[in-house]
Amino acid sequence: MQTDTNFAGSIPALYDRCLGPMIFEPYAVEVAGRLADLRSGAVLETAAGTGVGTRALAQVLPPSVRIVATDLNQPMLDFAMSRSALPRVEWQQADAVRLPFDDGSFEAVVCQFGAMFFPDKVAGYREALRVLKPNGRFLFTVWDRIELNEITDVVTEAVSGMFPDDPPRFLARTPHGHHDTQTLRRDLQSAGFGLVRLDTVERRSRAASYRDPAVGFCQGTPLRNEIEARDATRLAEATETAAAALAARFGTGAIDARMSAHLVEATRQ
Q: Which amino acid is at 17?
A: R
pLDDT at 6 over 90: no
Q: Which amino acid is at 228?
A: E
> Structural domain boundaries of the chain?
11-267
pLDDT at 41 over 80: yes
Neighbours of 239 (CB within 10 A): 22
Of 265, 146, 134, 267, the C-alpha closest to 205 is: 146
Q: Which amino acid is at 166?
A: D
* Rounded Cα gap, residues 261 and 73, in angstroms: 23
Each residue's pLDDT tens digit, 145-188: 999 999 999 999 999 999 999 999 999 999 999 999 999 999 99
Q: Is 137:265 a contact under the CB 8 Å cutoff? A: yes
Beta strand residue intervals within the chain, DSSP E: 41-46, 65-71, 89-93, 106-112, 132-143, 195-207, 255-267
* Confidence label for 136 from pLDDT (cuts 50, 70 and 90): very high
pLDDT at 203 over 90: yes
Q: Which amino acid is at 105?
A: S
**pTM, two decimal places:** 0.94
* Rounded Cα gap, residues 265 and 137, in angstroms: 7
Q: Is 243:210 a contact under the CB 8 Å cutoff? A: yes
Computed over its alpha carbons, how large is the radius of gyration of the chain?
18
Q: Is 175:143 a contact under the CB 8 Å cutoff? A: yes
DSSP for residue 118: -
Q: What is the mean pLDDT of residues 97-118?
A: 97
Beta strand residue intervals within 144-240, DSSP E: 195-207
Question: What is the structure's pLDDT at 11?
Answer: 83
* Rounded Cα gap, residues 229 and 76, in angstroms: 22
CATH superfamily of 11-267: Vaccinia Virus protein VP39 (3.40.50.150)
Q: What is the mean pLDDT of residues 13-31?
A: 95
Each residue's pLDDT tens digit, 225-263: 999 999 999 999 999 999 999 999 999 999 999 999 999
Question: What is the structure's pLDDT at 3?
Answer: 54
